[in-house]
């Protein structure tokens, strides 16, 4: 039996809000549009919207963005309850939170059962340095009832090893909450996401933060999409669905997990197999410091 997974990805536009409840209502509007999906994604750092609840937010330096850690428990409670009541698996994007004496950018995946999976972003984009965030050290596949998934948060998509190690662990769908401040940044992540889908013969969901909330909060450039390898079982451009650029909306698409394995066996470009078949060769090349996992 084919394993068909319905996916919904929010093209989220950050805007000033007066309270956590208003932020929650914003999210619920998009969750309502994602009705019926097995897996729902929100983008990276959608919770920057909560910075606007502070009375001094327009004059505060962006280095104080980590103040939104104060909303961590409300954020966790909100998405835990939404996943339970809607009976959906929800990627609550990512959120800046305090971990001991450091701040980290953490992706969260909420199950209807109440289980919460987390991933600490392992490669911080240089522009994030001003937020005093530090990096995680692991990429791990997560077993869901319908598929194995893994996080690649934004800039991680530009680091091929992040998707390769996820695929090596059996990940079939890469979850990419993303927040890019320019169209240049958007296309870097988008093109890399498509490349990772081709290299590893996996599905890749690029879910974007957009909006123009006003300084000091950054603008976002957003066109969320659900991507496939570019091969015969799918469309030539490898796009299942994509949003209208910079328009708040939810995109829907259905993917068939079994097609990935058929494509790995019979596709025109068996990249998953061939990258591993010659891994010893890559390790011997002086310019290559790491080998693709075998």
The residues annotated as belonging to the active site are: 44, 121, 154
DSSP the chain: ---EEEEEEEEEE----SSHHHHHHHHHHHHHHTTT-SEEEE-TTGGGGGGGGSTTTTTS-GGGGGGGGGGHHHHHHHHHHHHHHHT-EEEEEEEEEEETTEEEEEEEEE-TTS-EEEEE-SS--GGGGGGTEE-------EE-SS-EEEE--GGGGGSHHHHHHHHHTT--EEEEEEE-SSHHHHHHHHHHHHHHHHHHT-EEEEEEEEB---TTSPPB----EEE--SSTTS-TT-EEEEPPTT--EEEEEEEEHHHHHHHHHH-S--HHHHHHHTHHHHHHSTT--SPPP-
Closest CA to 11 of 247, 254, 253: 247
Return d(Cα 287, Cα 285) in angstroms, integer. Answer: 6
Residue whose tokens read 């950054």: 218
Q: Is 157:186 a contact under the CB 8 Å cutoff?
A: no
């Amino acid at each position: 039996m084919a394993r068909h997974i319905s996916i919904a990805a929010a093209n989220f536009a950050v805007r000033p809000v007066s309270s956590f409840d208003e932020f929650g209502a914003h999210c619920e509007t998009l969750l309502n549009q994602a009705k019926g999906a097995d897996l729902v994604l929100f983008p990276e750092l959608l919770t920057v919207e909560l910075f606007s609840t502070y009375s001094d937010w327009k004059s505060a330096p962006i280095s104080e963005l980590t103040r939104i850690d104060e909303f961590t428990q409300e954020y966790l409670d909100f998405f835990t309850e939404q996943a339970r009541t809607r009976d959906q698996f929800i990627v609550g994007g990512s959120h800046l939170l305090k971990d001991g004496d450091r701040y980290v950018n953490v992706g969260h995946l909420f199950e209807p059962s109440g289980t919460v999976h987390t991933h600490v972003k392992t490669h911080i984009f240089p522009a994030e340095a001003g937020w005093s965030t530090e990096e995680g050290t692991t990429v791990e596949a997560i077993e869901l009832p319908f598929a194995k998934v893994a996080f690649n948060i934004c800039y991680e998509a530009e680091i091929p090893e992040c998707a390769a190690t996820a695929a090596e662990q059996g990940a079939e769908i890469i979850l990419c909450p993303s927040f890019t401040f320019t169209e240049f940044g958007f296309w870097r992540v988008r093109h890399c996401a498509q490349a990772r889908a081709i290299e590893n013969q996996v599905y890749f969901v690029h879910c974007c933060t957009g909006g123009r909330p006003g300084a000091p909060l950054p603008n976002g450039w957003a066109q969320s999409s659900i991507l496939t390898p570019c091969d015969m079982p799918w469309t030539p451009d490898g796009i299942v669905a994509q949003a209208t650029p910079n328009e708040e909306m939810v995109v829907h698409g259905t993917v068939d997990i079994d097609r990935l394995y058929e494509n790995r066996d019979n596709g025109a470009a068996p990249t998953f197999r061939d990258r591993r078949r010659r891994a010893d060769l890559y390790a011997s090349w002086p310019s290559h410091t790491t080998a693709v996992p075998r």
